[in-house]
Amino acid sequence: MKTATTILCVALPLLASAEMCNVFNNDGPVHCRSSPKFSAKSVTTIGDGDAWDFSCYKTGDCYEGVCSWDYNWELKCYINGFYTSDQCNSKNLPKC
């Protein structure tokens, strides 16, 4: 029971600050990666226009001047902030 309580206590701050954001890419689905770099393994892809909750961000590889990567708790992966809507930014999301 202690392990479940510990996991819940760690997860709650991330979930409490989650922002629902759309993913945009005119060229098709966006790769959601295991870490905030383009060379990281693609965990899954998210379709253009799909909305997901993002709980925090990390700084990583830059694309078009955007170096923040938004983390999706459910999928356990990151998307470069260039591809997420304006709600997912450093003012609305805590650093991971």
Q: What is the pLDDT of residues 40-55, one digit of tens each?
A: 999 999 999 999 999 9
Query: Does a structural domain hold residue 57?
Result: yes
Domain contains 70: yes
Q: Is residue 96 part of a domain?
A: no
Q: Supply 32's token pair.
A: 């959601």
Domain count, the chain: 1
User: Of the candidates 49, 71, 47, 52, which has an alpha carbon nearest to the alpha carbon of residue 60?
Assistant: 71
* Element spanning 14, H or E: helix 2-16
pLDDT of res. 8: 38
Q: What is the CATH number of the domain that holds 31?
A: 2.30.30
**Position 79: which residue type?**
I
Q: Is residue 92 part of a domain?
A: no
Which pLDDT score is estimated for 12? 41
Q: What angle do CA 24, 62, 29 make, to 5 degrees?
A: 25
Identify the domain containing residue 14 by its residue range.
2-83
Residue 95 lies in a domain: no
